[in-house]
C-alpha cells in the first residue's frame, strides 16, 4: 500500500496526463461536450423521481422534496461508481500496446480511469449543489460528512478497479460479467428507494458496500441527519480492506501482464 | 573498462507454447477436462538461455540475430516490461526505450497534446517537457501542425513527432530497436545525427537491428543471439561475420521441425549463377522439407550486398501465395523468377522458412548462395535503373 502511494507520487505527471487524455478525448469526440458529465446522473435522477412519484401515488401521500433531493444526491455517486468500474475494468486491455511496450507501474491505468470519472462527478456535483441552493431542504452541520463518505467511495472504487482490471487482463470475459452485475446492481442498491423501505430486510441491502455510502449521503445532504455510524464504519472497513489487498494483489500479478495481455 | 551501467547475469526466460486460456469461458471447461484427464501441461520453451553481458557507460552496443532469436524478448527484459524466469539484471540510471515511436499517441489529440502525453509516458516530467517543448517542435519540423489532431498527420509526420519526443528524453541508457528508418530521407539523416550526438553526450546505447550496416556504423561492439543463447560477442565486424556463417553452416537443421533442404540459383540457361550480368534473369529454387508437421509456412528470400545491406527481400506470403502446411516427411518446392537490377559487386542470396502468424522462424540459410555481378556494367550505387541517354544535344 505504501508502495502504491510512493508510486503515485513519482508518476503523478503520468497519471495526470493519462487522466487528461481520457477527459479530453471523451469531450472532443462528442457533440454534447461537457454536458455528458451531467447527462447520466440526470437520467438516473429522472428515473428515480418517476419511481418516487409512483410509490407516493400508490401509498396515497404527497411527494416530499427531501425524497427527490435524496434521489439526486444518490444518483451522482452511483453514476460515478458504475462508470469508473466499467472504465477501470477495461483500462489495462484498452492500453495493451503501452502495457507491452513501455515499463511503468500499470496501476496508473485503472487509477487514471477512475480519476477521469471523478472529473465528471465534480462537474455534476457543481450543477447539483447550485440546484440544491434553491431546494427547500435543511442544511445542517451533518453535511460535513459528505466529503468523508465520498472519500470512502473513491477508495472502494480504486480498489475494485485495480482488482477487476487485472482480472480482465487474464480473463477477457470478466468485463462482460462486470457489465451484467453493474446493470442489475441498481436493483440491489438503494438509489431509487431507501433501504428502510424494506424494514428488517433493509439490513441485507446495506451489506452491499456502496449502499451505506449512498444512504449516508442522502441522510446528511437531503435529510440534515448524520449517517448511521455503524453502517458507515462497515463501508469504511471495506475501503480499508481493499486498500490493503488490491494494490498488493495488483503488484503481485504485474510482472505477468506484458506476457498475458 | 569504465563503469558498467547495464549488466545481465545468466538471464533465462521461459515461455509457454500452445493454448492460452484467456477467458473464464475457456478456462472452466479446460480445468474440468484437466481434472478428469489429470493433465493440464503445456509445452514450455526457453526464449532466453543463460544470456550474460555488460555494457559500459557511454558505449554503443549492438544486438543482432535472426527472427525469433530472442532479440525482442531480451529488449523487453532490459526495459523492465518482462521479468526473467531466472537471472539478474541491473541498470544504473534512467533507461529509455525507442521500441516504437509514438507509443501512446492518441489520434484525436493534437500534436501539442500528444507531445505532453507521449513525453510523460516515456518518463519525462511535465516541467521537463515544457522546458524542451520548443526544441522538440523544432526537431520535428511540425510547427504549423501543432494544433492539428495527429489522426490528420501523414505516417511520416507521425513518426517524426514520435521520434522528436523520444530523442529529447535524455536517458542514461537508450535502447533502440530499428526506429532509425522513420520518416523521410532528410529526417533520417537528422535522426542518425541525433543518435551520434546522444552517443557523444555520454549516453549508453543498446542498438537492436536487422540492419547490419547501421549496427556496424554505430556500434564498435556487438552480440549475436541465436535461439535465445549468446552465440558470439565482441568486435562488431567479427560478430557480423559469425552471423553470416551461422546461416550457412546449418544446412540440415538437425533439430528443426521443418528446414530448407536445398537452394539453387540458376541463370536462364539453367547453369548455376555465379558470375552474372547485372540485368540477368535468374531462377531461385527452394526445396523445403518437414521432419514433423509444420503449419502455415512461407518462404522468404532476400538479397544483401557485400556490406550485408539488405537490398531486396520478399516472400511467398507477400507475393500473395497461401501459406502451406507440411506433414512429417513431406517436401515442398518454391521457384522464384527474378530479374536483376543490380550494380556490379558481390551479393548474398538468403532464404528463410518462416511462419507469419506466430512469427516463428523455422530455418535460415544466409547466405544460401553468393554471386557476382560482372563489372562491365556502367552504373554504380545500389540499383541499376537501366539508364539510357535518349537526348544528348545543345539546347536551343
Please compute the mean of the pLDDT values over residues B35-52 and round it to a whole number: 70
Q: C-alpha distances in angstroms, B283 versus B263, B272, B334, B337, B363? A: 10, 10, 10, 5, 21
Mean pLDDT lowest for which of A178-182, A224-228, A229-233? A224-228
Cβ <8 Å between A17 and B126: yes
Per-chain mean pLDDT for chain B: 83
Please compute the mean of the pLDDT values over residues A167-176 and round it to a whole number: 92
- Report the chain B residue with the minimal C-alpha distance to residue A171: B23
Q: Are strands B310-315 and B258-266 parallel, antiparallel or unpaired?
A: unpaired
CA-closest candidate to residue B305, choices B356, B381, B217:
B381
Of residues B356 and B24, the one with the higher pLDDT is: B356
Strands (E), chain B: 4-16, 44-56, 60-65, 86-91, 95-98, 173-177, 204-208, 221-226, 229-235, 258-266, 275-276, 281-290, 294-305, 310-315, 324-326, 331-339, 345-355, 360-373
Provide the sign of the torsion angle of the four alpha carbons A68, A73, A76, A81, taken in this order.
negative
Instruction: Identify the pLDDT of residue A196.
Output: 76
Instruction: Identify the pLDDT of residue B298.
Output: 93
pLDDT category at B39 given cuts 50, 70, 90 is: very low
* Backbone conformation region of residue A199, classed left if phi is above 0, alpha if psi is from -120 to 50, else beta: left
Residues sharing a CB contact under 8 Å with residue B291, sequence separation 6 or more, in sequence order: B256, B257, B258, B259, B328, B329
Local structure of B379: helix, strand or coil: coil
Q: Report whether pLDDT(A150) > 90.
A: yes
- Report the chain B residue with the minimal C-alpha distance to residue A29: B108
Instruction: Identify the pLDDT of residue B35.
Output: 58
DSSP A26-49: HHHH-SSGGGHHHHHHHHHHHHHH
Write the DSSP symbol of residue B160. Answer: H
Q: Report whether pLDDT(B119) > 70.
A: yes
In whole angstroms, what is the distance from residue A213 CA to residue B297 CA? 59
Mutate to test the interface with B, among A102, A172, A257 (most CBs of B within 10 A): A102
Q: What is the pLDDT of residues A185-210, one digit of tens each?
A: 888 888 887 777 777 777 888 888 99
Please compute the mean of the pLDDT values over residues B252-276 and round it to a whole number: 82
Instruction: Identify the pLDDT of residue B72.
Output: 81
Most confident range (mean pLDDT) of B35-39, B117-121, B367-371 is: B117-121
CB-defined contacts A:B, below 8 A: 79
- Report the chain A residue with the minimal C-alpha distance to residue B122: A102
Whether the full predicted model's pTM is greater than 0.90, yes or no, is: no
Please compute the mean of the pLDDT values over residues B200-223 and round it to a whole number: 81
Q: Report whether pLDDT(B112) > 60.
A: yes
Q: What is the pLDDT of residues B189-199, one digit of tens each?
A: 666 677 777 77
Residues of A whose CB is below 8 A from B21? 171
Per-chain mean pLDDT for chain A: 88
Q: Report whether pLDDT(B115) > 80.
A: yes
B91 in reach of chain A (CB within 8 A): no
Please compute the mean of the pLDDT values over residues B43-60 and round it to a whole number: 87
Contact yes or no for A142/A220 (Cβ under 8 A)? yes
Write the DSSP symbol of residue A223. Answer: S
Percentage above 90 pLDDT, chain B: 29
A170 in reach of chain B (CB within 8 A): yes
* Backbone conformation region of residue B180, classed left if phi is above 0, alpha if psi is from -120 to 50, else beta: alpha
Please compute the mean of the pLDDT values over residues A89-99 and round it to a whole number: 91
Min Cα–Cα distance to chain B from A27, Å: 11
B178 in reach of chain A (CB within 8 A): no
pLDDT category at A116 given cuts 50, 70, 90 is: very high
Cβ <8 Å between A102 and B24: no
Amino acid at each position: 500500500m505504501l508502495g502504491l502511494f510512493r508510486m503515485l507520487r513519482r508518476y503523478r505527471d503520468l497519471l495526470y496526463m493519462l487522466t487528461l487524455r481520457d477527459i479530453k478525448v471523451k469531450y472532443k469526440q462528442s457533440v454534447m461536450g461537457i454536458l455528458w458529465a451531467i447527462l447520466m446522473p440526470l437520467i438516473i435522477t429522472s428515473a428515480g423521481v418517476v419511481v418516487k412519484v409512483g410509490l407516493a401515488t400508490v401509498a396515497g401521500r404527497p411527494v416530499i422534496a427531501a425524497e427527490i433531493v435524496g434521489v439526486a444526491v444518490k444518483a451522482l455517486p452511483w453514476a460515478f461508481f458504475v462508470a469508473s468500474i466499467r472504465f477501470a475494468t477495461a483500462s489495462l486491455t484498452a492500453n495493451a500496446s503501452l502495457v507491452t511496450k513501455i515499463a511503468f507501474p500499470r496501476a496508473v491505468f485503472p487509477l487514471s480511469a477512475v480519476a477521469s470519472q471523478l472529473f465528471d462527478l465534480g462537474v455534476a456535483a457543481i450543477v447539483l449543489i447550485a440546484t440544491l441552493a434553491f431546494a427547500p431542504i435543511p442544511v445542517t452541520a451533518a453535511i460535513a460528512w459528505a466529503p468523508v463518505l465520498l472519500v470512502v467511495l473513491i477508495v472502494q472504487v480504486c480498489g475494485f478497479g485495480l482488482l477487476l482490471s487485472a482480472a480482465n487482463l487474464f480473463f477477457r470475459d470478466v468485463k462482460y460479467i462486470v457489465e451484467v452485475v453493474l446493470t442489475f446492481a441498481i436493483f440491489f442498491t438503494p438509489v431509487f428507494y431507501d433501504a428502510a423501505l424494506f424494514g428488517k430486510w433493509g439490513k441485507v441491502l446495506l451489506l452491499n458496500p456502496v449502499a451505506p455510502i449512498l444512504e449516508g449521503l442522502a441522510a446528511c445532504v437531503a435529510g440534515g441527519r448524520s449517517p448511521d455510524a455503524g453502517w458507515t464504519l462497515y463501508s469504511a472497513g471495506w475501503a480499508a480492506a481493499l486498500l490493503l489487498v488490491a494494490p498488493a494483489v495488483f503488484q503481485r500479478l504485474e510482472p505477468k501482464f506484458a506476457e498475458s495481455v | 573498462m569504465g563503469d558498467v551501467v547495464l549488466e545481465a547475469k545468466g538471464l533465462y526466460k521461459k515461455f509457454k507454447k500452445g493454448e492460452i486460456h484467456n477467458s473464464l469461458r475457456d478456462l472452466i471447461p479446460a480445468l474440468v477436462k484437466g481434472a478428469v484427464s489429470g493433465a493440464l501441461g503445456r509445452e514450455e520453451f526457453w526464449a532466453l538461455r543463460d544470456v550474460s553481458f555488460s555494457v559500459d557507460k557511454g558505449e554503443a552496443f549492438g544486438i543482432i540475430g535472426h527472427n525469433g532469436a530472442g532479440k525482442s524478448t531480451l529488449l523487453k527484459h532490459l526495459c523492465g516490461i518482462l521479468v526473467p524466469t531466472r537471472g539478474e539484471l541491473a541498470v544504473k540510471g534512467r533507461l529509455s526505450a525507442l521500441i516504437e515511436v509514438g507509443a501512446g499517441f492518441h489520434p484525436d489529440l493534437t500534436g501539442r497534446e500528444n507531445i505532453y502525453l507521449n513525453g510523460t509516458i516515456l518518463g519525462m516530467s511535465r516541467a521537463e517537457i515544457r522546458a524542451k517543448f520548443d526544441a522538440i517542435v523544432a526537431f520535428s519540423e511540425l510547427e504549423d501542425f501543432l494544433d492539428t489532431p495527429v489522426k490528420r498527420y501523414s505516417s511520416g509526420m507521425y513518426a517524426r513527432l514520435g521520434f522528436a519526443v523520444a530523442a529529447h528524453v535524455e536517458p542514461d541508457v537508450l535502447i533502440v530497436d530499428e526506429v532509425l528508418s522513420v520518416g523521410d530521407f532528410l529526417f533520417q539523416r537528422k535522426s542518425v545525427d541525433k543518435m551520434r550526438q546522444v552517443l557523444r553526450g555520454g549516453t549508453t546505447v543498446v542498438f537492436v537491428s536487422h540492419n547490419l550496416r547501421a549496427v556496424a556504423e554505430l556500434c564498435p561492439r556487438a552480440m549475436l543471439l541465436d535461439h535465445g543463447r549468446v552465440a558470439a560477442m565482441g568486435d562488431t565486424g567479427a560478430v557480423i561475420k559469425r552471423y553470416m556463417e551461422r546461416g550457412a553452416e546449418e544446412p540440415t537443421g538437425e533439430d528443426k521441425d521443418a528446414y530448407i533442404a536445398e537452394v539453387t540459383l540458376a541463370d536462364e540457361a539453367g547453369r548455376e549463377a555465379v558470375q552474372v550480368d547485372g540485368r540477368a534473369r535468374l531462377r531461385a529454387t527452394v526445396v523445403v522439407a518437414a521432419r514433423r508437421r509444420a503449419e502455415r509456412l512461407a518462404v522468404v528470400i532476400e538479397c544483401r550486398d557485400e556490406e550485408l545491406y539488405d537490398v531486396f527481400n520478399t516472400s511467398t506470403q507477400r507475393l500473395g501465395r497461401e501459406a502451406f502446411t507440411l506433414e512429417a516427411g513431406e517436401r515442398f518446392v518454391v521457384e522464384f523468377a527474378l530479374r536483376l537490377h543490380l550494380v556490379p559487386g558481390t551479393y548474398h542470396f538468403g532464404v528463410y522458412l518462416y511462419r507469419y502468424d506466430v512469427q516463428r522462424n523455422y530455418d535460415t540459410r544466409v547466405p544460401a548462395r553468393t554471386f557476382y555481378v560482372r563489372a562491365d556494367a556502367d552504373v554504380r550505387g545500389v540499383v541499376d535503373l537501366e539508364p539510357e541517354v535518349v537526348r544528348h544535344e545543345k539546347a536551343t
